[in-house]
Every structure is written in structure tokens, then in C-alpha cells.
Amino acid sequence: MAITALTGTRVRERRLAMGLRQSDLARAVGISGSYLNLIEHNRRRVATDVLARLAEVLDTDARVLGEGAGGRVLDDLRAAAASGMATPEIDRLEDFAGRFPGWAGLVAAQHIRLGALDRAVTALNDRMTHDPHLSHSLHEVLSAVASVRATAAILAETDDLTPEWQGRFMANLHGDSERLADGAKALAAHLDGPAAADPVAASPQEEMEAWLAGRGWHVEGATGAELAGMSEAGRDLSLRWLGRLRAGEGLIAAFRDALRPGSTAGLVICDASGTLTFRKPAEGFDLPRFGAACPLWPLYAALAHGRPVEAQVAMPERRFRIRAFAESRWPEGLSGPEVREAAMLIEPSTDDGPALAVGTTCRICPRDPCIARREPSILRE
Amino acid sequence: MGHVLLIEDEPNIAEAIRFILSRDGWHVTIYPEGAGALEAVRCVAPDIVILDAMLPGQSGFDILTRMRADPDMADLPVLMLTARGQHRDREAAEKAGVSRFMTKPFSNAEILEQVRLLVPQ
């Protein structure tokens, strides 16, 4: 155990906090009062056995007396000092941490907590800013509110409104209030609902995936009539995928087992930008609802290199066997643009061998350190 | 009073704004989408354009940018309405050359005041 220059200071602080006289402590520990006095003024190095007895009488841990606040706490205090919120005495940092380890720990912990909250706010802000479906829902609500406000003001403030205009504006108000109620419900469902259990699909892709999940991801016997409750965009997308899944060509053909009744395998397909365009989840392998997925997924290795990839991967809770490959098409002929996709089959694995540690998406991935992390996780403390 | 071209795809908002401005003596023409809006501005030749930011076919920001690139419309007063009051939207509108920027929901008095300010009678 390292015994630092401030051990005596910590002994003195602890003794005074307990209301002990120097002579009483010296007697209890079995050393002379003058020796304890030298120790407390950091003028004598404390022997390990004496420190242990001091700690016992002072009802604390010898390491706390010997080492004081750990290097980690000092690092966190320095980081807190660098935040610019105040101008603390940096040159007395170690003295502060040594004299008041409890307060130092609290300041350090609050600095860490503040950082975590900052990241959480950033993540929520990102969601508000970049989620197109949330943005659309907010736009709907604000537009309805704008209309209600303008119409209600006309009704309330126009004394000579003719019955015809009055009826017209009342009808508008009624229509807008219904639209507002629907928009508010959709917004609340979107904000409250976890990805897997969202009762209201927020995007065409989520509508399509919710429909397929309801059918056990099995499209045999599916009809267009089943899509009646969807938005137009959700219906179009579902029909397009229904055609692809039925045709069973290319990527779909290779991994069609994932779409057989009762299959527990997950299947993910992405386009050349890496955007996930098809997400059949596997239990324990969470798929991101928003933003980009974990860059270590073999899906992206297949997409980048164009060759099949087979790998064992470890999610925080479970292991999986992954097979992935990419495919290119030239719908407008070889002189036209290449349309590239990659698919990844996710099967539960019991293999205990080496596995690539992966996550869902950086924002909610607790793995630290991670060689591919692109942004801090909001789950890190 | 002058001529207002209102480019707004929400029919109830458009109707309310038309009512407010018409009672104040303005002649109001409504155009309900982004596609073809530039042509509508050319045809109507208004004294002021009230332009929604999010329109089907073409965004209000794009329409405004193209208006400012046309010498005939470069100085035409444009009051932009948006349900997204974010700082970057305001910046985008200002960069595109907006005359005034208002966020929804707006008050009737406020919109009337802005139109009167932009087209002094």
C-alpha cells in the first residue's frame, strides 16, 4: 500500500472529527504523543503496522488514511476543475482530496453524473432533431394548434361574423381538434413506446415490420387486405417487401430459413449507406430503432469487402453465430449505378470460443473501451 | 390594399389567414403546394408572399432561394411561416433571404401586423 505525504493530515482530520485528543489516540495505538504529533504534521513516515492500528482506533480503512482519495478521484476532480464552472485552487487539489475525501468523492461523483446527464440530454436532443417521424408528428401537432388558435381567435373576436362563416369555422375547429387529438396520441405513443413493444408504428418501415412480426415473419398466404390499417407509405413499402420475400431471390434466398414459421433466427438487411432496411430481431440481439448500428457487426464487413463473412459474436447477454454477405445489382444496366445491399443472419449460439464483442448502437452500448466507438454511451457512468 | 399570395398547404390555416387579411382589405390568393409555387408568384405578381416552410413538392426554403435568384422577385417581401422554430431553420430562412420569419402557432394580430409592416400602404 502506498503511503502518501498527506497521511498524517488525514489522521489528524479523522481524529478531530471523532473528537479525540492527540494523547488519547497515541495511548490507544501504543505510540508516544510526540511521535503522533510528528506523524500528524507529516514529518514522520508512518510504519504500516502503526497505520493499521491508527485505522482501527479511528474506525476507518488503512488505505483511506494511507492513500487518501484515489488517483481516479483526483483525475475526476481535475476534469471538474477544467469544466470552467468556477476557478478552484488546482494547486491544492491533492490537499483538498486528502483532507476531505468524502467531499472530494462527492464532487467527483457529481461531475461524472453531470457528464452522464449532459450526454443523455444530447441523445434526446439528437432524437428530437434527427428523427424524421418525430419531426413529422410535431409538425402535425403544431400545424393543428396553429389552425385552432387562428380559427378560435376569429370566432371569439369577430363580432359581425355571418352564420355561414361561423359554421365554416366551427367545422374547421372540429376537424382540427380531432387532428390534434390524433397527433398528440401518436406523439405520446412514439415518445413512450420502447422499440419492441411500440403499439403505434412510427415509420413506414416500422409499420411493415410490425405487420410481418404479427404474421411470425412468414408471408405465405399474405394478402394486400391485411395492410388496410396502414399509412399509404407503409402499405407501399410492405407490398414491395412482400414481393421481394415471395420472389425469394438473392439475399432473401440465401437466408430464407430465417423467415420460415417458428424460426428464432434474426435477419438484418442494409443498403449501401449502411441504413437498416429490414429488421427481423433475434432474442438477445437488439436492433437499433434510430441511427446507425454497431459498426462491428459482420454485416458491415460483408458490405465493405463484398465477401461472405462468418463469425461468432457476443452481445452483452448472449452469443450468436453470424453469417453475412453482400450483393450488387445494376437495375439500369452495367453502365448505370450499382445498387448494393448486405444481409446478416443472426442465429443463437452455444459456442464458448472466441467471439467478437458487439453491441446495438454506440449510444446505448455499455462496452468500454471499444475500438470502434464513434460516440459516448449514455449508459456509461 | 395590396395583393397577398399565401403559399400554404394546410387548408384551415390558409382559410383563417385569408379571412383575417381580407377583413383588413387585402386581396388574398392561396396556392396550396410547393411544386409550381414559383410560377404562381410570377403569375400573381403579389405585393407580398406568405410562405409555409414545409410544403409538398418543394420546401419553402428552396422556393425562397429560387425567388431571390430571380431579379424580378429578389426584393419581394416574404413572410415565412414554420412549425419548426429551431435555430437552424431560422438561420436557413435568413440565409435564403427571408424578410420576416414567424413560428406556428402565431396570433392573428401578429400576422396582420407583419404584413402591414412589410407592405406599407
CATH code, domain with A332: 3.30.450
In a domain, A256, yes or no: yes
**Residue A230 domain boundaries:** 198-247
d(CA A65, CA A5): 11
Shared domain for A298 and A352, answered yes or no, is yes
Closest CA to A76 of A99, A107, A120, A118: A107
Q: Closest CB to A172: pick one of B12, B54, B105.
A: B12
Across the interface, whether the CB atoms of B23 and A151 are under 8 A apart is answered no
In a domain, A99, yes or no: yes
Q: pLDDT tens for residues B1-26? A: 799 999 999 999 999 999 999 999 99
Across the interface, whether the CB atoms of A143 and B10 are under 8 A apart is answered yes
Across the interface, whether the CB atoms of A176 and B106 are under 8 A apart is answered no
- With contact defined as beta carbons under 8 Å apart, do A143 and A184 qualify? no
Residue carrying C-alpha cell 365554416: A168
d(CA A365, CA A277): 21
Of A82, A112, A142, which residue sits at a domain end? A112
Q: Tally helices (H) and strands (E) across chain B.
A: 5, 5
In a domain, A124, yes or no: no
| The A266-271 sheet, strands edge to edge | A276-280, A266-271, A339-348, A319-329, A309-314, A356-357
Taking 70 as the threshold, does the pLDDT of residue A3 lie above it? Answer: no
pLDDT value at residue A86: 79
pLDDT value at residue A202: 58
Mean predicted confidence (pLDDT) in A189-211: 63
Residue carrying C-alpha cell 480503512: A61
Of A229, A247, A265, which residue sits at a domain end? A247
Across the interface, whether the CB atoms of A139 and B83 are under 8 A apart is answered yes
Q: List Cβ neighbours of A56 (8 Å cut-off, separation of 6 or more).
A: none
Pairing assessment for the beta strands B3-7 and B27-31 based on DSSP bridges: parallel
CATH topology of domain B3-106: Rossmann fold (3.40.50)
| Domain ranges across chain B | 3-106
pLDDT value at residue A62: 80
Provide the number of CB pairs (under 8 Å) joining chain A to chain B: 59
Mean predicted confidence (pLDDT) in A324-333: 92
Q: Rounded to an integer, what is the distance from CA A34 to the centroid of its chain? A: 57
Q: pLDDT tens for residues A69-103? A: 556 677 778 878 877 777 888 778 777 877 787 88
pLDDT confidence band for A189 (50 / 70 / 90): low
Shared domain for A260 and A309, answered yes or no, is yes
CA dihedral A21, A25, A27, A32 (to 10 degrees): -90
* For helices B108-118 and B11-23, angle between their N-to-C axes, nearest 10 degrees: 60
d(CA A60, CA A57): 8
Q: pLDDT tens for residues A38-79? A: 888 888 888 888 888 998 898 877 877 776 555 667 777 887
Q: How far is B14 from chain A (nearest CA, A)?
A: 9
DSSP code for A79: H
Shared domain for A266 and A358, answered yes or no, is yes
Shared domain for A176 and A224, answered yes or no, is no
Taking 70 as the threshold, does the pLDDT of residue A146 lie above it? Answer: yes
Shared domain for A71 and A186, answered yes or no, is no
Shared domain for A294 and A376, answered yes or no, is yes
**Domain holding A39: CATH number?**
1.10.260.40
Shared domain for A381 and A256, answered yes or no, is yes
Most B CBs within 10 Å, among A147, A166, A179, to test the B interface: A147
Q: List Cβ neighbours of A115 (8 Å cut-off, separation of 6 or more).
A: none
Most A CBs within 10 Å, among B8, B86, B102, B104, to test the A interface: B104
Shared domain for A100 and A144, answered yes or no, is no
Shared domain for A187 and A211, answered yes or no, is no
- Residue B106: its chain A contacts at CB < 8 A? 146, 149-150
Computed over every residue of chain A, the mean pLDDT equals 83
Task: Indicate the number of domains in chain A.
Answer: 4
